[in-house]
Chain A
Amino acid sequence: MADEKSLNSRRSALKCMAFGGAGTLFALAGGVLTPIELAAAVADNQGAARAGKPLFVQISDTHIGFNKEANPDVNRTLMQTISLVNGMSEQPRLIIHTGDITHLSKPAEFDIAQQMFSGLRTTEMHTVPGEHDTTDATVSEYFNRFGKASRNKGYYSFDHAGVHFIALVNVLQFKAGGLGTLGAEQLAWVAADLKGRTDSTPIVVFAHMPLWTIYEPWGWGTGDSEPLMAQLRRFGSVTVLNGHIHQIVQKVEGNMTFHTARSTAYPQPIAGVGPGPGPLKVAADQLPTMLGLTSVSVVKHPWSQVLSDATLA
């Protein structure tokens, strides 16, 4: 995807930045997001100006408790990610976590994660659960810690810097052989939440599993996402953020931008490569280039947003 020129500018960008950065950045102009090479954008001052004021940062799939060969020290890579956020020249006030905080839903894993998150300088953190966070028999470990914002429903909304955020849960109602599910109750709640909001309200929707079908044989999608999209299409700027697949996949459809984040823990294979979406083992020096975070900045109030992805490399 990257040509030689962008690779060169990426290299120069890596030299300039404490942790480096690589990926694609999206600038929103007139309701349409346009991809810009992130490395090219940060390599020059104009690019830095385009990157704008940081609105929020997305981290995902921290999988605290994972200890296999693909990354024996996920705590260390999460700490690196936290340092990357804390080291941003302009501190974002908000961070969202798109699920799989833990690997096995164990209390000790949640405790370690919370302790590490407390090292973030961001003042506000919002989460949604991943399916790895809800495997305990009573599905209570996640909700005991992060359920307050949603009164234990898991889905909720809030406003930040003029943007309306909608946090959704698509990991609690799996049907055998099926994709993630939002369910009628949650969809009705979204309809009520959006009712009366003007089309010009910027919307960010986030959930753990992709809210569009990326690869059905691996369950990379949400079976009843279409009724949700139908409700969102009238808005001038919609950003849909997910995790789950431990790699970046993006789609732009009308005024809607879909983006999945990298994991901070371990990469996963490209759709359909190998028997299933398990941990992908890569060379140790390659691993940091496949882990990272997504940051979203406001370029020009009230409309322009930029998505950029940074790696730990």
Chain B
Amino acid sequence: MFTGRFRLLQRSAGAAMLCWVLATGPAPAETPDAHRIVVKNFMFAPMTLTVKAGSTVTWSNMDEEPHTVSSDTGLFRSGAMDTNEIFSFKFDKPGTYHFTCSIHPRMVGTIVVD
């Protein structure tokens, strides 16, 4: 399933470079340019994050309820992140990227890529 998801993401992302990680337990060592969004109390925090092109953004779920990170355009989709699981995506192109939790669609956030 892991491979299948990865392939699907590659297809939907076209030629864009991307990085996808979903792991249980503590987050791996962060690269210096890592950008983190915490998912807690049914909210993305921060709700808006501005990063430079080429940055990898990591979402980590701190709730006891699973959440997803799902791009409004289908560019990225995490699958269910259980407690303490993380998802990362590398943003190569400047633009504004809106995302939601497909389990709790009231949860919304935005990545602005300069």
- Interface status of A277 (Cβ within 8 A of chain B): yes
CB-defined interface of B1-20 with A at 8 Å, one 1/0 digit per residue?
10011001100000000000
Contact at A138–B4, with CB atoms within 8 Å? yes
A97 / chain B contacts, CB cutoff of 8 Å: none
- Interface status of B54 (Cβ within 8 A of chain A): no
Cross-chain contact of B108 among A68, A177, A218, A279 (Cβ < 8 A): A177
- Interface status of A174 (Cβ within 8 A of chain B): yes
Using a CB–CB cutoff of 8 Å, the interface residues on chain B facing chain A are 1, 4-5, 8-9, 41-43, 63-66, 68, 72, 77, 79-80, 82-83, 98, 100, 102-106, 108
- Smallest CB separation, A63 vs chain B (Å): 10
Please report the C-alpha to C-alpha distance between residue A264 and residue B80 in the assembled complex, in whole angstroms: 21
- Interface status of A275 (Cβ within 8 A of chain B): yes
Beyond the given pairs A68-B83, A135-B66, A136-B79, 17 more chain A to chain B contacts, judged by CB atoms under 8 angstroms and listed by A's residue number, are A70-B64, A104-B79, A105-B79, A106-B1, A131-B103, A132-B66, A136-B5, A137-B9, A176-B72, A176-B108, A177-B100, A275-B42, A276-B41, A276-B42, A276-B63, A277-B42, A279-B65
Cross-chain contact of B41 among A131, A138, A218, A275 (Cβ < 8 A): A275
Please report the C-alpha to C-alpha distance between residue A276 and residue B79 in the assembled complex, in whole angstroms: 20
- Smallest CB separation, B80 vs chain A (Å): 4
Q: Which of A105, A134, A137 has the most CB of B within 10 A?
A: A137
Q: Can you offer 12 A-B residue contacts whose CB atoms are under 8 A?
A: A104-B80, A107-B1, A131-B103, A132-B66, A136-B1, A175-B105, A176-B100, A276-B42, A276-B63, A276-B104, A277-B65, A278-B63
- Interface status of A20 (Cβ within 8 A of chain B): no
Contact at A138–B8, with CB atoms within 8 Å? yes
**A279 nearest CB neighbor, chain B only:** B64
A272 / chain B contacts, CB cutoff of 8 Å: none
- Smallest CB separation, A77 vs chain B (Å): 17
Looking at chain A's contact residues, the main secondary structure is loop
Please report the C-alpha to C-alpha distance between residue A175 and residue B98 in the assembled complex, in whole angstroms: 11
B104 / chain A contacts, CB cutoff of 8 Å: 218-219, 276-277
CB-defined interface of A116-151 with B at 8 Å, one 1/0 digit per residue?
000000000000000110111110000000000000
Count the A residues whose beta carbon is within 8 Å of the partner chain — how many?
29
Q: Which of B72, B80, B83 has the most CB of A within 10 A?
A: B80
Contact at A135–B103, with CB atoms within 8 Å? yes
B72 / chain A contacts, CB cutoff of 8 Å: 176
Contact at B100–A132, with CB atoms within 8 Å? no
Please report the C-alpha to C-alpha distance between residue A137 and residue B77 in the assembled complex, in whole angstroms: 7
A259 / chain B contacts, CB cutoff of 8 Å: none
- Interface status of A10 (Cβ within 8 A of chain B): no
Contact at A219–B106, with CB atoms within 8 Å? yes
**A268 nearest CB neighbor, chain B only:** B65
Task: Given the known inter-chain contacts A68-B83, A278-B65, A279-B64, please indicate yes or no for A137 contacting B105, CB distance below 8 A.
Answer: no
The 4 nearest A-B residue pairs measured at CB? A276-B42, A275-B41, A174-B105, A135-B80
B41 / chain A contacts, CB cutoff of 8 Å: 275-276
CB-defined interface of A204-247 with B at 8 Å, one 1/0 digit per residue?
00000000000001110000000000000000000000000000
**B20 nearest CB neighbor, chain A only:** A137
**A106 nearest CB neighbor, chain B only:** B1
Task: Given the known inter-chain contacts A132-B80, A138-B4, please indicate yes or no for A174 contacting B63, CB distance below 8 A.
Answer: no
**A174 nearest CB neighbor, chain B only:** B105
Contact at B68–A174, with CB atoms within 8 Å? no
